[in-house]
Amino acid sequence: MDRPTTLEDAARELAARTRPSRVWNEAESVLAFLLLVYLDPARLGGTKIRADGSSSQHPAVTLLSEIIGRSTDAVSWKIQNQRFVLSGGARGAPGRSARDVEVVDRYARHLDALWAAVETMSVHLPRLPALLDALGYPGGDAADAAAVASGTAVRSRGIAIPAGGTSVRREGVARRGQRPFRERVLANYGNQCALCEFRPATPRSAALFLRAGHIRPWADADDHQRLDPANGLSLCVVHDRAFEGGLFTLAEDLAVVTAPRARELFEDDASFEKAIGGMNQRIDLRRKDFERPGAEYLSFHREVIFGRAAWGT
């Protein structure tokens, strides 16, 4: 078979394989990156065997290994290679390929494009919905791509997704990417509030108390900006609402700047100190895996959200 020239060709070639290729093609590399986005790569190693002989590897890794015909160790290693690229060499395993660099560069800040790629591949890889189920995401959404490609309108979570590049379809893809956006943003800040360092004990409590807030709000952002992890801050619910309302912003060096009249919103100084005054003076930049918030997003927040807030002057 000729070498695939498009992602769809690569998915078609992968579906037709009878044995693994020595070189990872684009489709399987993109799927490995999907797992990197969703899973905690620090917990992925070689397949672990329990005392009863069963495997403790993440089921998504096991399922992807079956879909692409490679071992779970090979899948885990590829994820770590891509993590090495994503973290600039701070984490993961060296040995990256040119393909790894290409995939990370293309999708790391374009989760909308990543989901569009998943939809494209799902037409030729019917087990992708099961893979998304293993990641904790409703796999039926990816299966809908076949109907989209054939020109049949489908519904996903109440959003009509007709064929073609309409704004409605792009909105559907963007909303599907909100979960990986949240996972990436929270992981970037160590799964704690970037400003008060509140750290929930469990995923359930994190769902209640932590937000992956947008620096440039969803309503003012395009599809890429909505899912760009550099447009996100991991904040507790109190500081998320305060940031959203313009009670404080971040300077270029990530120092906290509080609105001059923010104290007027609180009944007494003690309440203000508990909610706003107790924040760190700046976001900690010392974490190895840390990706700084985008300068263009911070500028928008300072000028539009913070600058126009009623208590900003």
Residues 64-102 pLDDT 10s:
999 999 999 999 999 999 988 988 887 888 888 999 999
On whether both 204 and 115 belong to a single domain, the answer is no
On whether both 42 and 123 belong to a single domain, the answer is yes
Instruction: Give a yes or no: residue 154 inside a domain.
Output: no
Predicted local distance difference test score (pLDDT) of residue 160: 28
Instruction: Give a yes or no: residue 116 inside a domain.
Output: yes
Q: What is the mean pLDDT of residues 269-279?
A: 86
On whether both 291 and 209 belong to a single domain, the answer is yes
Task: Give the chain's largest Cα–Cα span.
Answer: 73
On whether both 41 and 125 belong to a single domain, the answer is yes
Instruction: Give a yes or no: residue 127 inside a domain.
Output: yes
On whether both 90 and 201 belong to a single domain, the answer is no
Any idea what the Cα angle at residue 94 is, between residues 92 and 95, rounded to 5°? 130
Instruction: Give a yes or no: residue 159 inside a domain.
Output: no
Q: What is the mean pLDDT of residues 44-58?
A: 60
CB-based contacts of 72, cutoff 8 Å, min separation 6: 46, 47, 55, 57, 61, 62, 65
Domain of residue 218, residue span: 179-306
* Structural tokens at position 249: 């912003």
Predicted local distance difference test score (pLDDT) of residue 251: 95
Instruction: Give a yes or no: residue 158 inside a domain.
Output: no
Instruction: Give a yes or no: residue 142 inside a domain.
Output: no
On whether both 202 and 275 belong to a single domain, the answer is yes
On whether both 19 and 116 belong to a single domain, the answer is yes
| pLDDT tens digits for range 232-265 | 999 999 999 999 999 999 999 999 999 888 888 8
| pLDDT tens digits for range 148-188 | 333 332 223 222 223 333 344 455 555 566 777 888 898 88
Segments in 25-126 forming alpha helices (H): 26-38, 59-68, 72-86, 98-107, 111-122
Last residue of a domain, one of 74, 101, 136: 136
On whether both 195 and 119 belong to a single domain, the answer is no
User: What is the pLDDT confidence band of residue 48, given thresholds at 50, 70 and 90?
Assistant: low
Instruction: Give a yes or no: residue 172 inside a domain.
Output: no
How far apart, in Å, are the Cα atoms of 307 and each of 174, 231, 298, 302, 304? 28, 18, 12, 6, 5
Instruction: Of 26, 23, 14, give the one whose Cα is nearest residue 103.
Output: 26
Instruction: Give a yes or no: residue 167 inside a domain.
Output: no
* Structural tokens at position 171: 């909105």
Work out how many domains the chain is built from and give that number.
2
On whether both 113 and 192 belong to a single domain, the answer is no
